[in-house]
Amino acid sequence: MARFHDVTVVTRANNQPVIEAALMHYTGPKPRFLYYDLPGWLRTLKRRGLPMAIYYALWQVGVRQFVADQLTGFDLIHHVTFNSFRQPGFWWRCGKPVVLGPLGGGQICPWQFVVTFGRRLIPEVTRSLSVMASRWLPNLYASFAAATVILTANQDTTRRIPARHRHKVRSLLETGMPRDLVRAPKVRPDDDCVRVVWVSRLEKIKGCPLALTAFARAVKEEKSLRLTFVGGGPEEGTARRLATELGVNEYITWLGAVPKPEIPDLLARHDLFLFTSLRDTSGNVLLEAMAAGLPAVTLSHHGAAEIATDATAIRVPVRSRTETAFDMAAAMVKLARSAALRRQLGEAGAQRVLDIYVWDRKGEELDRIYRAAAAEA
């Protein structure tokens, strides 16, 4: 945004070394940075287990006081940190136009899947209930009432905004891609295999069992399919055992955690991308897969339903666990049997990223939002 405006960023003091080191090598327009942190005793409590949500709320209260004497020098306030709609800052009655977001977090895990979470069941259900109960939080009403524009990352979050304030909502994904990482689909050497890649942390919310169950169904029908799992995490052992029980281990490559800079090239070595996240504001790796020219098989909900379209992916509606796995399997088989369809969806996905999700495009859109908010105020 510093391309278009005089931007000041307020952030935590512990971010200062890495920011200043990066700015030494950055030649573009630069924002000014202000650094603020809570008192040391609160930082100690955070290290000893003070919940992040509480610490963050206190930090936002402190930031409001920290910049109070400087607000007259600004034309607009943009609350961008932590894209949770339940923590939109404390910017009411500040006399300036306020842009909130992009806010996310309004989505909840489908109930038919959350029942399989085991020890994670209670925390996930608690989170879902707190999201559903958010309409009764007075600080949210105050924040949304004070906002000039509310940016939301998905429609689930839009539905959590009180109806009387939804006219302020604009859709804007909170993530994006560097233009140089957007590539045309590659033609892989014909080795008689169709390579599927799944990239995520191996934890309950990412839907690894759904991916394995769907793949097991698909490979029974189409033996050319191969699956690569990228990522580590607490559910890795469970996932490997399930693959063995399903009899598909011989068709799977387990890569574990892979450094992020290596992900684009890894994606490009595959034919299609499988995305099974059960709760995700956006799904940044889906964006990365589209940028790499991969067609996708995704669930048609939450951020995936915003990022992908029927022109870039086969989007599967969330039904029962059995029906959803069956539909994802059918989608993989369909793509495995049509190189032309894979290329068509992959090219459309890369073009969609170029049209909407590269950072310079998003900056242009946010510039229009800033100017409209300032004009309205």
Domain of residue 266, CATH code: 3.40.50.2000
- Give me the pLDDT at residue 188, please: 67
Same domain, 346 and 205: yes
Is residue 246 situated within a structural domain? yes
Handedness of CA 200, 315, 358, 13 (dihedral sign): negative
* 154 and 184 inside one domain: no
Contacts of 219 (CB under 8 A, 6+ apart): 225, 227, 248, 251
| Euclidean distance between CA atoms 292 and 282, whole angstroms | 17
Whether residue 158 contacts residue 106, with contact meaning beta carbons closer than 8 Å, is answered with yes
Q: Given this model, what pLDDT does residue 16 score?
A: 96
pLDDT computed for residue 155 by the predictor: 94
Query: Do the Cβ atoms of 131 and 330 come closer than 8 Å?
Result: no
Is residue 168 domain-shared with residue 237, that is, in the same domain? Answer: no
Contact call for residues 65 and 45 (beta carbons, < 8 A): no
Domain tally for the chain? 2
Give the angle 79-201-354 at the CA atoms, nearest 5°.
Answer: 55
Of 8, 19, 9, 15, the residue nearest 37 (C-alpha):
15
* Beta-strand pair 8-12/194-199: unpaired
Domain that holds residue 126: 8-177+358-376
- What is the Cα 228 distance to its own chain's centre? 21
Q: Whole-angstrom Cα distance, residue 228 to residue 196?
A: 6
Distances (CA, A) of 336 to 198, 215, 222, 227, 236: 15, 12, 8, 12, 26
CA nearest 315: which of 347, 175, 302?
Answer: 302
**CATH number of the domain bearing residue 49:** 3.40.50
Residue 145 domain-assigned (yes or no)? yes
Q: Are residues 143 and 28 in the same domain?
A: yes
Does one domain contain both 255 and 316?
yes
Q: Does residue 212 sit in the same domain as residue 343?
A: yes
149-188, pLDDT tens digit by residue? 999 999 999 999 999 999 999 999 999 999 999 987 777 6
> Which portions of the chain are predicted below pLDDT 70?
188-190
Question: Which structure tokens are listed for 203?
Answer: 């934890």
Residues 64 and 166 in one domain: yes
Going through the chain in order, the beta strands assigned E by DSSP cover: 8-12, 32-36, 77-79, 98-103, 149-152, 169-171, 194-199, 225-230, 252-256, 272-275, 296-299, 313-316
In a domain, 1, yes or no: no
Q: Does any domain span residue 271?
A: yes
Query: Helix H segments across 310-338?
Result: 321-336
Is the residue at 162 inside a domain?
A: yes
* Nearest-angstrom CA–CA distance, 292 and 362: 19
Residue 89 and residue 187 in one domain: no
User: Considering the domain boundaries, does residue 3 fall inside one?
Assistant: no
Question: Is residue 349 a part of any domain in this protein?
Answer: yes
Number of H helices, E strands in the chain: 15, 12
Do 21 and 82 share a structural domain? Answer: yes
Instruction: Note whether 125 and 236 are same-domain residues.
Output: no
Instruction: Give the pLDDT confidence score for residue 190 in this predicted structure.
Output: 67
Same domain as 53, residue 157: yes
Q: Is residue 213 part of a domain?
A: yes
Length reported for the chain? 377
Same domain flag for 159 and 246: no
